Structure 1
Amino acid sequence: MLAPIRMNGTPILYKRVDLEMKALMKTKPGFGNLHLLDIPEPVCDATGIKIKVRYSGICGTDMHIYHDSYKSYPPVVIGHEFSGEVVESGKNVKNINPGDIVMVLPSIAWTCKNCMYCKQGYYMFCSERRSIGSGVNGSFTEYVVVNEEMVYKVPSAISLQEAALAEPLACAVQAIEELTEFHAGDWVLAFRTRTNWLTLFEFTSEKGMQCNCYRDKSGFNKAENCQRTWSAYYS
């Protein structure tokens, strides 16, 4: 936004005034320390993509950040499961344009790009890696700026609400399809009752597996049966 600098009531030049937005920010280490603040909108540089956040999920990681049991780098805006609309793209961005509906891979907001893992494409193992919502500003706000390599266009058949679930869905897909070998009739043990757990149920039931899932509230608690809903056993 441009605001006039006036002399004797007459504008003589204009200067840029940073726009502000609401953001839920972890302001310092320790339990809690989450505050809803007004902060400047992020600036989109030549390689950046500025996204208007439409939907953002609450992950277990966000709760751990609140309890200070997950490493974060305050002050930082939390939140990393989100979808949105591109409102600006830098001059060096090639495949993403304003107006695109997108979802984001949040785990590689910053990597060194020089270690053996980065050079092989295993960015998750980079010792300097930082993620959106813990290492750099995340999605519990109005706008986020990310790099092009993190952004994926959302197919027209997928809603913005569904697209916000892409990251936890990817976690479940990798666990079932890439990191392990399962067969029909196998039993699977899963912990906790969050979005990953529900998508895990979908995959295991489709493959004819049975799933024991444990919900924790300050430890493991009593069994509950959801056979009718998920064709799986929840204990």
Structure 2
Amino acid sequence: YGYGAYGIPDDPFFVPRLRAWYDQGGIWAVAHVRGGGAYGREWHEAGRKATKPNTWKDAIACAEWLIAKGYSARERLGIFGGSAGGILVGRAITERHDLFAAAIASVGVFDTLRMETTPNGVPNVPEFGSVKKEDEFRALLAMSSYDAVRAGTAYPAVLLPHGVNDPRVDVWESLKMAARLQAATTSGRPVLPRLDFDAGHGVGSTKEQRQNEWVDMYAFLLWQFGVPGFQAAGR
């Protein structure tokens, strides 16, 4: 898991719903990537605008470390993030499509060039930049997962949950990314949007909505990791 934006630190805390993942033998690793606030202001500044590539490169380095140390293998390694963490997930799999078996980005940002034009776009300019400035346009292009997708590439399985009524990140971000990946990938792995027509950015979701989303995410990962009992019928 990684986020890496706005200088927000991923402080440790107890997450009861992860118990189901651990019961299946899963490991949950948090990557304290640049752009977040794990080591203060300088850590944040090292992962925003022109330095944003450090965010997904840190995530890639963490994934490589998990494999090198024997915690996981490419066939059972997933990457997860949400909202601005969609940049991390999207750019990690477009830069290193060979490293992950599956990826999940919930309510994610993928087309950073268009983000400024959305109702909630302007407040994000200080963090990511503006297309109206040449240097910041180049930075936004570099962090745009949508523009980094290349046809004929074997991308991992991808799940993109999104609330249709999201006021922060427009739902078209996930749908546009899903369509682009579906058209480009040669892996045969699924690329699936997961829409909740009664949800938004997740802040106001009910406990049941949150649980249902996480159940689907766990099932998706276990399916793609080849875990017995979670394989699609008839396969």
Higher strand share: 1
Which is greater in Rg? 1
Q: TM-score range by the shorter chain?
A: under 0.3
TM-score, structure 2 length as denominator?
Answer: 0.25
- Structure in which a larger fraction of residues adopt helix: 2
